Structure 1
Amino acid sequence: MTNPKTAPAAGPTSPTLLDRTFQVSLILKGLDGVLELVGGILLLVISPAQLGAVARVLTQHELAEDPHDLIATTLVRLAGGLSVSATLFGAVYLLAHGAVKVVLVWAVLANRLWAYPWMIGFLIVFIGYQAYRLAVGFSCGVALLTAFDIFIVVLPWREYMIRRRR
């Protein structure tokens, strides 16, 4: 009889680095979805004028040190130019995107097989939108998010194929 403390790790049942990466990336996607929900709610309850005032308060120290700071001046300019319709669109977008992301991440973490193809399809649609955004005007943030989403599509696909075989 083998002592459980000295027994070798069970090959395919012990989580690999890729399995742990999948779990961590799912959790990150879920947290991102929660943040999108919070952001969407905030956009619904805070007026565009209030958003502009918050942006000015948050950037005033940086702009006092460097009045030409790219990030701070861009943030103040964007927040100051928000309309009610743009804010509403942003709120609806964030709420819908965040809700879908949270539900799909929860379902995948709960081992619901139906959620894998939905998550993959949802991410592919979003990657397509991000690719359009990159074609219209390049952004490092969107490029990094797109690369992360492509990586996230590969991991659920791998996991889905493994679970389907079982």
Structure 2
Amino acid sequence: MRRRLLVETAFVLGVLVKGLDGLVELVAGIALLVLHQQGILALTRSVVAEELREDPHDLVANLLLHQAAALDHGAAVAGGLFLLLHGVVKVVIVAALLAGSRRVYPWAVGALSVLLVVQLVQMVLSPGIGVVALVVLDVLILALTWHEWRVGRSFHDAWRSVVHGWFPRAYPSG
């Protein structure tokens, strides 16, 4: 029973994280498509300014600034389209799962598999800890989505089970 609760919790959290990831990708993709290089650099500076005030040598903040400064128009358009497509797919999948449709599971597994293949190619072409971490996370979410589809539970079923399992008084059964 405890294992099932942990699996369902991981599934619910994974879907929610995937939805947030999709929203971030949508916003970033749109920003890359509509902003000019100087606008992207200015936006990046404003996002990392506080972190750089605290630690001027922050690796991630400086890496983001360096990448924004080196970004050319073609790369911005390609990156924007890539992020926009990824974001749309993820948001649509998550919205359908949140709506409670069990029919979306095969589509979700298929779309997540395609996105995973793209990430695997990206990992081979540009290896890095971040890409590897995303691949591992996506494999886990894909496996959990497959599992929930196979056992026939909707996202709502998993949500109710998770809330009742962790907070029994907040969501009484029956």
Alignment RMSD:
2.6
Matched, 1:46 2:35: yes
TM-score between the two structures when normalised by the length of structure 1: 0.76
Identity %: 36
Unmatched runs of 5 consecutive residues or more in structure 1: 1-10
Normalised TM-score (structure 2): 0.73
| Equivalent position to 1:85, from 46, 50, 74 | 74
Count of residue correspondences: 150
- Say whether residues 1:62 and 2:52 are aligned partners: yes
Moved over 6 A (4+): none
Residues 108 and 64 of structure 1, relative CA distance in 2, 3 Å threshold: closer
Matches within 5 A, 1:13-162: 16-56=5-45, 58=48, 62=52, 66=56, 70-162=59-151
Q: For 1:34, give the aligned amino acid.
A: L
Instruction: Considering Cα pairs closer than 8 Å and 6+ residues apart, tell me whether 1 or 2 has the greater RCO.
Output: 2
Query: 1:124 and 1:69, CA in 2 relative to 1: closer, same or farther beyond 3 A?
Result: same
Q: 1:158 to 1:72 in 2, by over 3 A?
A: closer
Larger radius of gyration: 1
Higher helix share: 2
For structure 2, the 5+ residue unaligned runs are 154-174
